[in-house]
Structure 1
């Protein structure tokens, strides 16, 4: 794996978690989900799911990656994953999506914390201890510093991994997931972008 991609993936994993990044930043980063309106020069315009269109300044250091759909069977004991999940009435976590991190990103953003994919959603970045077939999917037993979680992954939950992408792929109509910090005049400074590729939209 090229060094540049290793660095981009490592930062992407850190930004996905945002916890460590937020601790060292005076301005808390935001996760922006939506569809590309346009991209030209260093200016990315995104129509957010919430309805408004925002302007994002893509800096030289802004990383761009995409996601590739994989099978849940690609996740094995020893894999390092990020699982966004929502608790059921019984408190058990059901995954909304699972990201298999490349090995270069192992350990970044480790932990269990609140997420904003849906009401009461959480993110767990952790090592996979066991994978067990369950009645409603597969149960991943995850361990991280300070705790463990079991997350059920339904058959219809997106399972993806990060792959390299370029700014040439930031084209109108594609779905994106952006971590950015608020700047002056209502604009944002982009830290990294995950862009739709081959019809696979970023599910995180």
Structure 2
């Protein structure tokens, strides 16, 4: 399998798992954000932002990716993006981060749904119809099946794309974003892992 196809498949699973969480109940995938405490065999121990430490089983079938920082200017009309955002005082959506998908992953997780990056946060996976330069960043005019959004991207918002990574990069102290399913014994089964690389932590 080519790196491009492998990444597209990985992205598909990642975004679909994210969409599933938007409608989650107990036992459904959840997002785990934190720092790696240890990784041995298939056992990944992560200290979550919320304070607790959890054990995640990352078997060989799990996908591992990293993030690469790109520029706001890399977002063009026709790009396919995932933008986590929160409403500002004026009600306008302001991006907390933007993920620019590789072309092979266009259409994955398309839509606008609740996210868990903060109170009232949302995720919009959509096509960029227009990029409008403003004094506080850029406004992305986005469209997806069934709707459209305008999201302001501040100059300090992280903008990244996904790149392939290896299990060897799951080292102590690195930040991770994991899509995992809780098991009955209190541990988790990891499906997707996005790990910090070259100082760029997953902002999702």
Aligned to 1:7: 9
| Distance in 2 separating the partners of 1:200 and 1:35 | 13
* Cα distance change, pair 110–19 in 1 and its aligned pair in 2 (3 A): farther
How far off its partner does 1:26 sit? 7.6
Structure 1, gaps ≥5 residues long: none
Task: Give distance in 2, aligned partners of 1:163 and 1:27.
Answer: 29
Map of 1:172 onto structure 2? 172
Q: 2:124 corresponds to which residue?
A: 124
Aligned counterparts of 1:16 and 1:160: Cα–Cα separation in 2: 17
Provide the alpha-carbon RMSD of the alignment: 1.6
Provide Cα deviations, 1:32-71, integer angstroms capped at 9, x if missing partner.
Answer: 0000000010000000000000000012221000000000
What pairs with 1:102-117 in structure 2 (closer than 5 Å)?
Answer: 102-117=102-117
The number of equivalent residue pairs is 202
Alpha-carbon distance between aligned partners in 2 of 1:152 and 1:14, rounded to the nearest angstrom: 25
Deviation at 1:19, TM superposition (A): 5.3
TM-score, normalised on structure 1? 0.94
Q: Is the partner of 1:60 in helix, strand or coil?
A: coil
Counting only pairs closer than 5 Å after superposition, residues 25-64 of structure 1 correspond to structure 2 as 27-64=27-64
Q: Structure 1 residue runs of 4+, over 6 Å off? A: none
Match in the other structure for 1:137: 137
What is the alpha-carbon distance in structure 1 between the residues aligned to residue 19 and residue 159 of structure 2? 17
* C-alpha distance in structure 1 between counterparts of 2:21 and 2:53, whole Å: 26
Q: Is the contact between residue 21 and residue 30 of structure 2 (CA under 8 Å) also seen in structure 1?
A: no
TM-score using structure 2 length: 0.94
CA contact (8 A) 2:176 2:193 kept: yes
Q: Is the partner of 2:77 in helix, strand or coil?
A: coil
SS of equivalent to 2:194: strand
Structure-2 change in CA distance of 1:78 and 1:19 (3 Å)? farther
SS in 1 for 2:197: coil
Q: State the shift of 1:190 in Å.
A: 0.2
Output the CA distance in 2 between the equivalents of 1:56 and 1:104: 29
